[in-house]
Structure 1
């Protein structure tokens, strides 16, 4: 439980909401829980956001613009375009530290898909992420990691589909860590296009 603080920013609230969402499903989530986690009174949180849905909309709007910073950090951290791409794929396993956590995340995704506003933010993020994947693939061609002539747009779409599908398949089999499962599938998709023996 967080002690109440004098100043709690929106970023603090969003981080608190994400932590609580990691522990509670959509029907269990309350503004009171988020307020306690953030160090606010529930009344103050209602004054700031108005309702649980309004807070979730604000959180999803913030998420919609997150692809650029996420990929920039991955490019800075990893030495090659394909290493950054592989790291992005495996970081999707953060949604599944445990099978129960993935089930909660899928429940939130179901709500996002059923709500036009939330889905709009989801689509915005997905399109931005696919654009970033295309940029990494183009850079991999320039760096001679991938052979020339690769259809970057088509391959980016396949990579996007494989990452999501791999996570769902892991949820069924639950063999090993989700990150390792996803990495194997992405490696298999990219392998025919490589100029060398690995993605490093």
Structure 2
């Protein structure tokens, strides 16, 4: 009889994501992921086949779960714009220093050059845009954003702001990423925010 799995695939993928954050995609190894997960590297080979297989599984998991911070933010913040700020800050919370962002950007190289990774990255971006658009639509309905706001265009602008802030903050080194993200997102939204949406 096969032995039951004592560590779920999800727990392994989350451990692997932490290992990637520490070592970058280039320095990442099955041994590093196994150490983070408290397992033997052979166990990861059995489940995922190879380093590439595990990295692809991490990318797929990231795309599947990108909505989770938005769902939690909705539960914790009744106001849609507050939920949007909270969700994006949570997404960025794994980056505390420019070096950590550099390691994450190593994964972006895979996303841009390998069709298998690109598919998951595109799905991640699409789902993230959907979640942003849903909160912006709720903000319009709640009177936080002006009636007639082009939610599709603004959701793209918010997503561009999020990604752009990561890069500019890493280059400037000014303050915290959370503060930079709050300021830049507020600037992007400001032309559309009504008196009812102002804190």
Mark yes or no: TM-score above 0.5: yes
Q: Check if 1:129 corresponds to 2:128.
A: yes
Between the aligned partners of 2:64 and 2:198, the Cα distance in structure 1 is 28
Answer yes or no: is the 8 Å Cα contact 1:187–1:199 preserved in 2: no
Alignment-derived partner of residue 194 in structure 1? 193
Distance in 2 (alpha carbons) for counterparts of 1:106 and 1:199: 34
For 1:65, what is the secondary structure of its paired residue?
helix
SS across alignment from 1:25:
helix
CA displacement at 1:178 relative to structure 2 = 0.7
2:41 aligned residue: 42
* Secondary structure of residue in 2 paired with 1:182: helix
| Separation in 2, partners of 1:74, 1:60 | 23
Residue 133 of structure 1 deviates from its aligned partner by: 1.0
Query: Contact (CA 8 Å) 1:82, 1:199: kept in 2 or not?
Result: no
Q: Which is further off, 165-174 or 86-95? A: 86-95
Q: Which segments of 5 or more consecutive residues in structure 2 lack a partner in the other structure?
A: none
CA drift at 1:69: 2.6
RMSD: 1.5
1:3 aligned partner = none
Report deviation, 1:197: 7.0
Native 8 Å contact 2:143 2:196 kept in 1: no
Question: 1:38, 1:134 → 2: CA distance?
Answer: 35
Q: Taking structure 2 as the reference length, what is the TM-score of the superposition?
A: 0.92
Aligned to 1:184: 183
Whether the 8 Å contact between 2:145 and 2:197 is mirrored in structure 1 is: no
1-side partners of 2:44 and 2:198: how far apart?
A: 46
Q: Which residue of structure 1 lines up, in the alignment, with residue 17 of structure 2?
A: 18
Per the normalisation by structure 1, the TM-score is 0.91
Task: Give the CA deviation at 1:95.
Answer: 4.1
Residue 77, structure 1, aligned to residue 66, structure 2: no
SS of 2:27 mapped into structure 1: coil
Query: Residues 90-129 of structure 1 correspond to what in structure 2 (within 5 A)?
Result: 90-129=89-128
Q: What residue in structure 2 maps to residue 31 of structure 1?
A: 30
Check 1:142–1:197 CA distance in 2 against 1; reply closer, same or farther (3 A cut): closer
Structure 1 stretch 27-36 or stretch 159-168: which is displaced more? 27-36
Q: Which runs of 5+ in 1 are unaligned?
A: 1-5
Deviation of 1:92 after TM superposition, in Å, equals 3.6
- Matches of residues 60-71 of structure 1 in structure 2 within 5 Å? 60-71=59-70
* Deviation for aligned residue 1:115: 1.1
8 A Cα contact 1:82 1:145, kept in partner: yes
Q: Which runs of 4+ in 1 moved over 3 A?
A: 197-200
Residue by residue over 1:62-121, the C-alpha shift from the partner in whole angstroms, topping out at 9 and shown as x without a partner, is: 111113333111111112100011112323432421111111011111122211111111
C-alpha spacing 1:197/1:22, structure 2 compared with 1 (3 Å)? same
The answer for the alignment partner of 2:147 in structure 1 is 148
**Secondary structure of 2:7's match?**
coil
